[in-house]
Amino acid sequence: SSSVVTDANSLEFFAEHGLLYQEDAPVGGIVATLDQKGLSNNTDGFKFIAEHLLTDSRIRPILKPYLSQDNPQVCSPFSADPGHIFAFSTAPVIGKRIVVYAWGAGSHMEFYANSHIKELKGVRASNGLLEIAEASLKRNGCTAISVRMEKGGIAILHPRHAFRIREGFTNAYGLEITGQVKAKVSHQ
């Protein structure tokens, strides 16, 4: 579980597991506010989540490099769909990409261990994600990690990491680092 992750090893842990998650009540509150304001599918809402996450010394090293560029690239809300398992991508990832999932209170999800490093096939689903066959995950030894976030929380996943939403909902933010670094302009 991500509970064993320390400030010193969070980057290494994420590189190996393609996953970092934790219950985080303030994130659950931000998600509820964004939902009430109709901003669940708006990339502008991410700034409130990022501001909070940067105070977390385990998450900061993973997230910070993405914030020097114009991110997130995309934001999509997803709600419970317990009969289906999804991933953002099954293709080899070019460049650096992560998906930040901000979970609402009362969410229950499953993440599939090592699914980001397996050759999985996906079928385009109506929600825009790729649906991954459970049999394929089992065949590849990708066991389900069941996570409950009663107060809401955060999960950072590799884009190829498979997940299932059993209860609740999430705002998923796709971030990437491209070759073009956005210049920070200062007017002095």
Summarised one tens digit per residue, pLDDT across range 37-89 is 999 999 999 999 999 999 999 999 999 999 999 999 999 999 999 999 999 99
- pLDDT tens digits, 121-156: 999 999 999 999 999 999 999 999 999 999 999 999
Distance CA 108, CA 136 (A): 22
Are 120 and 87 contacting, i.e. CB atoms less than 8 angstroms apart? yes
Torsion of CA 81, 85, 91, 93, to 10 degrees: 80
Distance CA 146, CA 126 (A): 24
pTM, entire model: 0.91
Strand arrangement of the beta sheet that strand 169-177 belongs to: 19-23, 153-157, 96-103, 169-177, 74-79
From the number of C-beta atoms within 10 Å of its C-beta (0-12, 13-18, 19+), residue 69 rates as middle
More confident residue, 8 or 25: 25
Hey, what CATH class is 7-177 in? mainly beta
Task: Show me where the domains of the chain are located.
Answer: 7-177
